[in-house]
Each structure stands twice: as structure tokens, then as C-alpha cells.
Amino acid sequence: MYGRNLLTGFLVAATCLTVLSGCSREPAWTKTNRAVIREHGIEQRTRTDIPESGIVPSLDPGVVTGTAALPETELAPGVKARMYWGTGALVCRTTLAPGAEIPRETLPSERFMIVMRGSVEQLAGGVMVPMRAVEYERMTPISGRREQNDLIYLEKGADNALKAGSEGAEIMEVYSPVRMDFLRKAGAQDLPPEVPDPGFGVAPSHKPGVVYNLHDIQFTELVPGAISRLVSGRGVQLSFIRMDPGSFFAHHNHPEEQLMMVFRGAVEEIILDGTAPMQAGDVLYLPAGMVHGGTNSSRGCDALDIFWPVRPDYEEKRRAGLDAFHEIIPEDAKIELVADGSVQSPKLAYCEGPSWINGKLYFSSMGYDNKWTGDVKGSMLVEMDPDGRYRAISKGIEYNGTFPLGNGRMAVCDMYGHKVVEVDTKGRVTRVIADRCDGKRLDGPNDLCVDDKGGVYFSDPRIVPEPHEQPGPSVMYVRPDGTVIRVVEPGTLIKPNGLILSPDCKTLYVNSTPEDYMLAYDVAPDGTLSNPRKFGKLLVTPEMREQESVNPQVDGMTVDERGNVYITSIIGLQIFNPRGELLGMIHFPLMPVNCCFGDPDGKTLYVLCNDKVYRIRTNVRGAAYTLRGLE
């Protein structure tokens, strides 16, 4: 059994690895390793391009260590780091006092740097550029910001310098090859005269000298239950991995060495024929070939895995995932702010339910305050031109979702009016589509979609003030003849919210469930639903994983001509293919609330975020039935 406090003779001997020059004795753990490989029938992947570096790792192989137990090394005045390293990569968790500087230098190794807390100015391309970390702020109708951790990659030989902001900073740096000057400062002994830098013929995954927000980098599915943001240099690969609650990863190994650090949650790490608990702040060194695996806690585990050299299997998965994403969202597509309701007039509030009709965008501006209290006096239905100019076409009605009907008008959820209505582009109500179900008043319709027969599906999540007359949150359907039926019974969903039909109108997708997925239903010719099934494993924030129950906090949805489903959520606009596989995510400065396709060719995605309207060009059109007002 390997563990945090286990120190045995053969672990000490294991610091003499076979990859080290001049070491002829095999590490003691390899005998157990071979036995575990045979026992579990582990398929071996080999490579012959990894050189001997002559560096002795700072951590005992297979032993979990707390970061706080690592010695602190002063790299410059006011700059202190806790370092750990393998044979090919060095990690520095560095704290900088306010205004502290890392003097200008020429990098002897490639370097990744991520701002974990505070702010810095980083030398890049001859100028000092700002980088910072911003904590996630919980969404409200008038506030809420997204998480930010800036990241930069600098190649070997680049000029480097850094200065902390007025509040100081904490950064994480990863170097490959290992920096000899840092090891000397840390007191490492028996260092080789130089360290080889083979380069491995791998191109960096991101442009050198460019600042990225880590949270903009697309996730790659590594195995079922584990997704990762992968960032690679020429020699080292960073895997910011998220592992599902309770997920299990069987015994496996790989020819690349691995340095692991847990950020959040916990995992019972399998190491050879034993296990060792890891929690936030723990680090682990796994030599090349050492068998490992793990069982993640009930709240999952977020970690950073650093591989040397770059794993070709992971790089292949990363590229394949990006190719699929860029089939939909062009690689050069930029998010454009179209309208800013915080500075334009009339002021916008919580924007919802967009529809594109006759060359204009229509949406509701809901009069919520910061405590989610609705006020019909501050609500309006808005018409926006493509250039971002907009106007109120009706006021004083707490409208929510809208959807084009195909007759130049739209179906609209009058939430506080307890009905679904038809509204023309002048803002005039032309008829009531539904106001009762089973003879009782609707509680408060929220979102809706219209099928190819003119029938209307709408959610009624019971989020308006009492009194309530319906038996509970549910989904209803208005048949073309005006009959209203309940198609999703109370208790199935937490608060049924966004819903959308597949392009052929044979599948209805609905959120939000008691877990982090949507539900998909088969649609019968009479509008009834059957065969409910999980669809689309939704991404949630790390903070949400720490809660007793996970509410994925998702909202409006749309669908494109290929059947890909776009769902707005607290961490961004998530895109799933018709099989429910995550294709990627688009981040916005604020939480996206709802979305639709528009523009003359139907290939622009309009996204509402609080009091702002954004858009981004796509390679696909919206589904035909969502674009009835396109012409």
C-alpha cells in the first residue's frame, strides 16, 4: 500500500529511476508494477523518443504529498515558490507580494503561466500586458461575472519579466525542460551539467505570447466521466481535468511521466496495488509506466495533470474535438456586443426569449430586481435592428419567452398574466393562445416553442408569486385546435424552463432536471410525449459541485439545421450534437440567458446576457421552424 505517510526502503530506492543516466538498478516498484499489469491485462503503449534527463524527481514516486509540506524557495525579493518536479517538467506555485517583480530574463525552458489569484503584468512581445484572476460571481438579474484565470505560453529563448499588481498575486508556472537555476536555488543535489531538450516535434497548442482565459479553452473528453482543458507546448502538456462525482478510472499506465495536483474535491487514487486519498492541495509524482487509477468522491474532483512529454493520444483527442466544434463555430469567429442596455435607452433589464422575425430581433426585457422580484412596470417587449438600435413596442407586461409563428407574429409567454398570447410586431396582442389547463388558470408560462403544425409547447415552472392553481411545475402543449394538455407531469423536473424541438419536430428537449442533464422525449403525432431519457451531460461550475444537490442553472435553448442543441447556462453557451455529446462551449462576459438564430442567412447566433445582446457567426443555419420569420 502506497500512501501519504508511507516511507519504505524500496520507495527510497525508487528515486533511482531506469531513465536516469548511470543508474543500472531497476526501481523496486517495477516488480509490483509488472504484476499489476498482468493481473489487470493492461494494454501497453510504448515510445522510444524519451531521453534520459539526469534529473532526480523531488517527490517520491507514488507518494501523495501536501503542497504545504513542500519547502518554500525565494526566487526574487518578494517572490516565493513551492516547487516540485519530475525528470522533464518543473511546477512552481509562486506567491508574489504587492509590486514584487521577476526581473527580465531569457527563458532557458518553455514556460506556461496561469494567474491563480490577483493580477500581474507579464512581458510578452516586448510589452507588459495585464493578466488577472477573477472569481466567479453568482448570477443575478442585474449582475454576475464569469470566472477568469489568464494563461500565457512562452517559448524557450523568449524574454520574460513579471510584476505583481497592488494586491499581489499567486501564479502557477510550468517549465520544460526543468530549470536548473531554480533547482539550484531549491538546494537540489547531484544535478547534471545540462538537461536535454529534444522538443519531440510537437507544435504548441496555443500561440506563444498571447493571453488566454483558461475558461475559454474548449473541453476535451478523455474518457467517459472525465473532460479536460488541454494545453500543450513542445515538450510538456497541461491537462486541467474535471472528473465526475463517483466516477471510476480503472488501472492504466502510460510511457509519459505525470505530475498531479488536486484543485477541488477528492479522489481515492489507485497506485500500483494499493490506494491513497488525495484532496485539494495534494500533489503526486507518477513515473513513466507506473500503474494508477482512481475513484472520485461524491462531489467529483478537479485536478491538474502535467505530462512529459506531450501525450499523443490526448493531443489527437483535442484536435478531433476542436475540428468538430469548428465545423459549427468558425475558428476566427468573434463575439460581438450588439446592444448594451446599461448605457443605451431605454434601459434594458433581464433580457429573455429572442425571436428573429422580418429582419429584426424581438425579445423581452423583464423588470426583475437583484432579488428576483418581478415588476411589470419595468417590463417591455423590445424590437432591435441589426445595427443594435432598439425600441420598446409594448410596456407594462412581464413577457418572457417568444417564438415565431410563421404568420409574421410571435407566440409570447405572458408570465405574470398567466397566459400564452399571440403578439404582432407592433406589440399588440392579437389573441390568447392558452390561459387554462384542466379548467384551472396557468401559473406562469416561462418559455415555449412552436412545432411544424402550429402547436405550442410551453413550460410552467411556478416561479411567479402565489396563488398557484396548477398541481405543480410542468410542461403543456396547445394543440392546433386550441386544446391544452399537460405532457410532462409535476415532479419530473425541478422547474421546467427552456425547451426546444429537433429540426424534424420528433424530439422535444426540456430542462431543468434534478441532475446535470436535459431530458429528451419522443413526440407523438397528437403532441403527447413518451420515452423520457437523459440527454446532454451539462457542465456546471466547481462551486455547484460542492452543493448538496446540483441545479445546473440552465435556461433558454435553440437548435440548428443539423440537430445540434444550444443551451444557455451559468458557465456559457453549451452545444451538444443530436447524440447528446458535448461539442463545445462559447463563453460570454455574463451568463447567457437565451438565444436564437437570425440574420438574412440564418447563420448568426444571437445571445442575450442580462442587459446585453451579443452575436456570433456560425457555419450552420438555425432549424427551419425556428426561422419562420427569416424572409
> Average pLDDT in the 125-139 region?
87
Cell of 578: 443530436
Residues 103-142 as b/e (b if ≥16 CB within 10 A, e otherwise) read: eeeeebbbbbbbbbbbbbbbbbeeeeeebbbbebeebebe
Distances (CA, A) of 482 to 134, 433, 437, 516, 593: 50, 7, 11, 34, 29
Phi, psi angles (nearest 5°) of residue 386: -60, -25
Average pLDDT, the chain: 91
| Amino acid at the residue 546 | E
Q: Residue 494 pLDDT more than 80?
A: yes
Return the DSSP state at 625. Answer: G
Distance CA 348, CA 341 (A): 4
pLDDT at 466: 87
Band (13; pLDDT cuts 50, 70, 90) = very low
The beta strand positions in 135-176, using DSSP E, are 148-154, 159-176
Percent of the chain at pLDDT > 90 equals 82
Asked if residue 574 lies in contact with residue 567, where contact means CB atoms within 8 angstroms, the answer is yes
Q: Residue 532 pLDDT more than 80?
A: yes
Asked if residue 264 lies in contact with residue 545, where contact means CB atoms within 8 angstroms, the answer is yes
> Average pLDDT in the 437-453 region?
96
> Average pLDDT in the 135-151 region?
73
Cell of 446: 416561462
Closest CA to 399 of 378, 377, 381, 423: 381
> Average pLDDT in the 310-314 region?
97
Q: Residue 7 pLDDT more than 60?
A: no
SS3 content of the chain, % helix, strand, coil (to 5): 10, 45, 45
pTM score? 0.91
| Amino acid at the residue 433 | I
For residue 599, what are the contacts with CB-CB under 8 A and spacing of at least 6? 356, 386
Cell of 564: 445540434
**What is the distance, to the nearest Å, from the Cα of residue 522 to the centroid of all Cα atoms in its chain?**
29
Q: Residue 139 pLDDT more than 70?
A: no
> Average pLDDT in the 358-380 region?
82
Closest CA to 221 of 469, 558, 486, 580: 580
Measured from the Cβ of residue 190, the count of other Cβ atoms closer than 10 Å reads 7
Phi, psi angles (nearest 5°) of residue 314: -70, -40
Q: How many CA atoms lie within 13 A of 432 on its CB side?
A: 13
Query: Considering only 66-75, 224-233, 234-243, 486-495, which range has the smallest mean pLDDT?
Result: 486-495
pLDDT digits (tens, 9 = 90+) for 401-422: 999 999 999 999 999 999 999 9
Closest CA to 161 of 76, 257, 53, 56: 76
Paired strand residues for 341: none
* Range of 143-157, 171-185, 186-200 with top mean pLDDT: 171-185
Paired strand residues for 212: 151
Cell of 176: 520544460
The beta strand positions in 466-621, using DSSP E, are 474-478, 484-488, 499-501, 507-510, 517-523, 529-537, 554-559, 565-569, 572-576, 582-586, 594-598, 604-609, 612-617
Distance CA 7, CA 11 (A): 6
pLDDT digits (tens, 9 = 90+) for 62-85: 999 999 999 999 999 999 999 999
Asked if residue 423 lies in contact with residue 405, where contact means CB atoms within 8 angstroms, the answer is no
Phi, psi angles (nearest 5°) of residue 143: -155, -175
Phi, psi angles (nearest 5°) of residue 317: -65, -40
Residue whose entry in the numeric block shows the C-alpha cell 482565459: 213
Distance CA 234, CA 310 (A): 7
Closest CA to 305 of 14, 115, 91, 33: 91
Distances (CA, A) of 32 to 10, 38, 56, 373: 11, 10, 21, 63
Distance CA 609, CA 249 (A): 38
